[in-house]
């Protein structure tokens, strides 16, 4: 595919080459009604391809723009995911740091030192009980997620998640 693109670009038909890269040779050949590969072998074929490129310029540009739009959407989704993960990492770290500071404080009451643990205990014990008592699908999906979140906060996560957290932390610091 790249040698064909290089030949087309060399002949001043980069739009045609980009359209082939975006949609595939078969789609473009079907649209133009010509074999692009064999047309690049002769001067008459190249002239015909150039004429077809000019005649179908709008459609070829549409193929290239649609492909670029998909690439931009994928990039935006990846950036949004990276941002969400970085924010989640920062949020968890902040909550753990706050809990540590409260527990180390000599002036904090028993309730302020233990309220998070009591609430976590309620979630961990009440979660399975809720699953037994309900048939609601949304609750059956949400409760295990909540219990997992609470347990992950107190006992950490898997080694691969720790590596992921370290990578996200590094990315967040670089930005």
Span of 36-45, 120-129, 164-173 with lowest mean pLDDT: 164-173
One domain for residues 86 and 49: no
Average pLDDT, the chain: 80
The answer to whether position 72 is within a domain reads no
Same domain, yes or no, for 49 and 95?
no
- Looking at the fold, whether 127 and 104 belong to one and the same domain comes out as yes
DSSP states of 18-62: HHHHHH-HHHHHHHHTS-HHHHTTSHHHHHHHHHHHHHTHHHHHH
For range 166-175, the mean pLDDT: 62
How many angstroms separate the CA atoms of 121 and 101, rounded? 20
Query: pTM of the full predicted structure?
Result: 0.43
Going from the C-alpha of 92 to that of each of 125, 144, 152, 169, 171, the distances in angstroms are 22, 19, 10, 12, 16
- Distance between CA 7 and CA 110 in Å, rounded? 76
The whole domain housing 113 covers: 78-174
In a domain, 133, yes or no: yes
pLDDT above 80 (res 119): yes
- Which of 92, 99, 94, 97 shows the shortest CA–CA distance to 116? 99
Q: What would the pLDDT profile of 142-170 be if each residue is shown by its tens digit? A: 888 888 888 877 776 655 566 666 666 66
Q: Is residue 73 part of a domain?
A: no
Distance, CA of 158 to CA of 97 (rounded, Å): 20
Domain count for the chain: 2
The residue that leads in pLDDT, 91 or 12, is 12
- Identify the three-state secondary structure at position 129: helix
Residue 41: which pLDDT band, with cuts at 50, 70 and 90?
Answer: confident
Q: Name the residue with higher pLDDT: 89 or 138.
A: 138
User: Quick one: pLDDT at residue 172?
Assistant: 61
Of 38, 65, 92, at which residue does a domain stop? 65
Q: Same structural domain for residues 37 and 119?
A: no
pLDDT for 64 equals: 87
Please indicate, yes or no, whether residues 41 and 88 belong to a single structural domain of this protein.
Answer: no
| Domain-ending residue, one of 10, 44, 65 | 65
Q: What is the pLDDT of residue 125?
A: 92
Q: What is the pLDDT of residues 47-100, one digit of tens each?
A: 888 888 888 888 888 888 888 888 888 888 777 777 777 766 676 677 778 878
116 and 37 inside one domain: no
**Model confidence band, residue 34 (pLDDT cutoffs 50, 70, 90):** confident
């Amino acid at each position: 595919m790249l040698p064909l693109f290089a030949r087309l670009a060399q002949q001043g038909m980069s739009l045609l080459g980009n359209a082939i890269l975006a949609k595939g040779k078969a789609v473009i050949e079907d649209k133009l009604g010509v074999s692009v590969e064999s047309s690049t072998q002769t001067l008459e074929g190249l002239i015909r391809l150039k004429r077809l490129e000019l005649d179908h310029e709008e459609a070829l540009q549409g193929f290239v723009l649609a492909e670029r739009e998909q690439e931009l959407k994928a990039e935006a989704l990846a950036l949004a995911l990276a941002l969400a993960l970085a924010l989640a990492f920062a949020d968890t770290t902040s909550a753990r740091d706050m809990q540590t500071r409260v527990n180390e404080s000599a002036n904090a009451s028993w309730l302020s030192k233990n309220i998070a643990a009591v609430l976590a205990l309620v979630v961990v014990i009440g979660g399975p009980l809720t699953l037994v008592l309900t048939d609601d699908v949304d609750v059956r999906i949400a409760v295990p997620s909540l219990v997992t979140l609470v347990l992950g906060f107190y006992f950490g996560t898997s080694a691969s998640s720790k590596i992921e957290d370290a990578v996200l932390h590094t990315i967040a610091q670089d930005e």
